[in-house]
Chain A
Amino acid sequence: MNFLAASIESLGAKIVGGFTVGYGIFAFLTQAVWSLLDRNTWNHATYDVVIKQVYFTAIQILHVFLAYVLVISWILVTIILTTARDFGLAEFASEMTIRVLVLELLPFLAVLFIALRSGSAMNTEIALMRVNNELDALAHCKVPPMQVEFLPRLIGGVISVIALACLAGLLALLLAYLSIYGLTPAGFDPFTRTIAKIFDFRIVAGLIVKCALFGLAVTLIPITAGLETPKKLFMVPVSVLRGMMRVFFMIIVIEVVSLALKYI
């Protein structure tokens, strides 16, 4: 009986904890949107920090990311092409390639790249800022942390995921064309027709929204996890662990919901 009561109590605590975290994230997002709409937010300083964030999040990793995209796209295009030819479905190869790579896999790869590199760093930095009282110091100086530290990271994350996913998609399209038709303009017409058929307004809007949500997930969750950190140095790794687990969970949720909306 005691075991049952303890289990129910533990489950209840977990559910309440989950709701508290969810509420914290939502409240922070509301505050960020409010700040985004505030005219005073948009000055040279904020623009500068946003540009710096995009540089650190997307530009710095561009060459490595594109190298990964090149290798993964080449392997997957080859697999899809070979399998399609084996089953006599060669005419569907380009459509399958675009759907699998450009719409699903590459945005996922982009968000994983940013989550592992920038999301974890962001979580650690915010947690350390909180533990070291740096946020209190900013508040004492009446320098708004939302404007200086958080909002540029959110905007930078969203822009970076969208930009990296678009670049990766373009590279994959080029690679797919070269793999299917080779160095000849002969396949340009059917290939562009396939692209036009797939990329209707709904799909493009869905892709951008998905990438934007990915961008929010890899910045918003680490920031809020960092802000939740108790003021104890040994809690910083715990905060990063929790934050990254939530990021992973949220990325999977966004991807599954996007697939369900598209194909079910």
Chain B
Amino acid sequence: MAAVAALPEDVARVALDLPLRANLSAIDNVALIPLYQRHYSAAESTRQAHAMLDRLGHADIALLRDSDMTPAQRFVAQLARALMLKRPRLVIDRPGAMLYDVPYPRFIYQLAAQADLSGTWDIYDFSWNQTLYPE
């Protein structure tokens, strides 16, 4: 996975090695970005985070902490955080390691369709999982 390690800084990553802050809820994890990067107020940051989770169709996970989430919910929270970074390119690194409880290529396509955002989404996966992805 040298390709992932060599990614430039303006790429948002969703990966197993970039977990959520364990003692914060999903919404607080996402809200950290507008709060500390763009200096919005706590209320406005929470509103933006909620809107992002809602856009992905998972507003119900807002108050869950990492340990209370299913792997799919955890992935959605990580994805919402990555999307909140508003970087031009998003890399999902080895989704099989994070989404072992759902048929993940379809799940990611659904999220991408719901997110309705600009930018490129790339999935880096092992070559032996190629058959999982439709042409």
Contacts and interface: CB of A to CB of B under 8 A. Distances in A.
A and B interact physically = yes
Interface of A: 43-45, 48, 125, 128-129, 132-134, 136-138, 140-144, 147-148
Interface string B32-48: 11011101011001000
Given A134-B22, A137-B19, A137-B20, A45 B35 contact: yes
B41 to A, nearest CB: 6
Interface in B14-31: 17-23
Given A128-B22, A143-B37, 9 more contacts: A129-B22, A132-B19, A134-B21, A134-B22, A136-B17, A141-B81, A141-B85, A143-B33, A148-B36
The secondary-structure label for the interface of chain A is helix
B32 A141 contact: yes
A137 B35 CA distance: 16
Interface of B: 13, 17-23, 32-33, 35-37, 39, 41-42, 45, 81, 85
B44 to A, nearest CB: 10
A43 B39 contact: yes
A44 B41 contact: yes
A144 B32 CA distance: 10
A124 to B, nearest CB: 11
B22 A141 contact: no
Given A45-B42, A125-B23, A136 B18 contact: yes
A141 B33 contact: yes
Contacts of A148: 32, 36
A132 B33 contact: no
A43 B42 CA distance: 10
A147 B36 contact: yes
- Which one of A48, A137, A138, A142 has the highest number of Cβ atoms from chain B below 10 Å of its Cβ? A137
B18 A137 contact: yes
Contacts of B41: 44
11 contacts: A45-B35, A128-B22, A129-B21, A129-B22, A132-B22, A133-B18, A137-B18, A140-B13, A142-B85, A143-B33, A147-B36
A110 B23 CA distance: 26
Contacts of A147: 36
Contacts of B36: 45, 143-144, 147-148
